[in-house]
Amino acid sequence: MRDHFDYIIVGAGSAGCVLADRLSADGSKQVLLLEAGGRNEELMVRMPRGMIKIWTKPTWYWPFPAEQQGERPAGETWYYGRGLGGSSAVNGTWYFRGQPRDFDAWEAQGNTGWNWAEIERCYRELEDYRGAGYAQRGRGGPLQVTNVPQGDAVMTRAILDAAREAGIPVLADVNTPSTQVAGPTQQTVDARGARVTAYTAFLANAGKRANLTIRTGALVRRVTFAATRATGVLVELDGKEITFTAARTILTAGVLQTPKLLQLSGIGPADVLARHGIEVVHENSHVGRHMNEHMMVSLSWRLRQRRGLNHHFRGWRAYMHGLRYLLGGKGLMATLLPEVSVMASIEADPDWPDLQIGISPYSMAASEDDKPEAGRGRTEPEPGITATAFCLRPKSHGYVELASIDPAAPPRLVPQWFSAPEDRVTIQRAIRKVRAIMAQPALARYLGPEAVPGPSVESDEEIQKAANWMVSTGLHGTGTCRMGPVGEGVVDAGLRVHGVSGLYVADCSAMPTGISGNTNGPAMAFAWRAAEVIAAQ
């Protein structure tokens, strides 16, 4: 194979696959896409609910242990996708676009060309939305987006009615911008019930182009330089070290791996580089810092009248649903998500929701009740309902830095949950908001007692004590290589890494601030726009 390219893209996740498609559309350009993982073609990847069976397994996920801090429990680990499609191949498939003010804030910070008007145009071009509602949705694009099918129509209606009773408009399109909203959850699952990954959406056909080379099992050790010009990458491939060169090298390895790779390559905080004996190419204290992450917390209740879906995922019924999926791509195995999504405001303006809630008519067993071999994701034997909330704009920011010069080793991950005191108030309000929705008459008639955290957890102090243990990551990180001017960021508005040439970052790590919702869709829209920006230079 050739060893020189016009573009090298490191990481075939949600952003990298879109970039590879868009940049290789110019047949005069040679593009190399490198991915450390495998091809992700297994049934448990294609079947949306199959994710529960493969969750945390190293074939499909990179594990990132987080440092224990304060009153937080030990053992917190973040898992991001590995293989073609990245996290889009093994996530929950939840699809949100984000809010206009998320993106307009980027341009207001000096990042010209990064605003809602441009990003919404990208969404219209890449989407194939199969639902009703907001007019500015894409139709006929490569990324199919569908509504989650109803498993229990009675409970779905009760949840929507409860949201309405709580003052939240119920709309056909939960991605309607600039409003609080409740509606059917949207997912990256096609009309045949198959998961739509960034790879299957953007590269299933483009991957056949003669000018696009895709290599899996390729672990990038570092970016190579001639002085301060990036010349390519050093890669472990087929048991050998190989150097590939390119006019432009683009990092799309994700919010934790991209800053790690920059630091391995000599770009980052001077003290971190010195600690690991890495020669400084360009000192930048912002590499790995400013990590935005959503705080996630799940509450659950018992259900009366044997309503809900818990019994459908246990015993012979689970096998029947699996068979139904294999025969026609239908049924409960064709989704992993809550049937209803809610965007609400607890501290922000109503036109910029800051709380995302997913409500599912089933509940999961606590981990200690599962046998180790059963894995994660076993439903409870009793009927239950779960409301999972994401605080979308916490003030606490974590960081990531090298823990080892081994490129396969995870970096040091420090989430810094609740380091900003305001987040304690936010999580308390979030839990109270969820409870308020669930207590509305339309839904309360079906509810038994609250199971988690429980009705005795009522005061601010009790809620915070529970939250210290309950809060986990939404896996929606941004900001660790943030876009911004010299002295404030890692890349400029052209996505060029400050202090060097020929090197770019084009994934969620470059987003200056967080997104109001899951980041899979925004990562694709960001990369769609990034391809235009980079190709135009």
Q: How is 471-499 classified by DSSP, letter by letter?
A: -EE-S--B-TT-B-STTT-SB-TT-BBTT
Shortest CA distance to 76 belongs to which of 533, 488, 471, 526? Answer: 471
Contact predicate 82/325, CB 8 Å: no
**Distance (Å, whole) CA 78 – CA 82:** 13
**Distance (Å, whole) CA 499 – CA 343:** 40
SS3 359: strand
**Distance (Å, whole) CA 93 – CA 186:** 8
Contact predicate 236/53, CB 8 Å: no
DSSP label of 211 = T
Q: In Å, how far from its chain's centre is CA 519? A: 4
Phi-psi region of 502 (alpha: psi -120 to 50; beta: other; left: phi over 0): left
The one catalytic residue among 282, 312, 397, 476: 476
Shortest CA distance to 276 belongs to which of 265, 285, 289, 284? Answer: 265
Tell me, letter by letter, the H, E, C secondary structure of 73-116. CCCCEEEEECCCCHHHHCCCCECCCCCHHHHHHHHHCCCCCCCH
Contact predicate 122/105, CB 8 Å: no
In the chain, the amino acid numbered 357 is I
Q: How far is CA 10 from CA 86, 171, 233, 250, 440, in A?
A: 12, 39, 9, 6, 49
SS3 460: helix
**Length reported for the chain:** 537
Contact predicate 47/195, CB 8 Å: yes
**Distance (Å, whole) CA 11 – CA 82:** 9
- DSSP-derived pairing of the beta strands 472-473 and 295-303: antiparallel
Shortest CA distance to 99 belongs to which of 395, 389, 353, 355? Answer: 353
Q: How many of the other CB atoms lie within 10 Å of CB of 314?
A: 14
Contact predicate 448/310, CB 8 Å: no
Shortest CA distance to 97 belongs to which of 531, 418, 529, 523? Answer: 523
Q: How is 409-457 classified by DSSP, letter by letter?
A: SPPEEE--TT-STHHHHHHHHHHHHHHHHHTSHHHHTTEEEEEES-TT-
DSSP label of 180 = -
Active-site residue, 4 included: no
The catalytic residue positions are 476
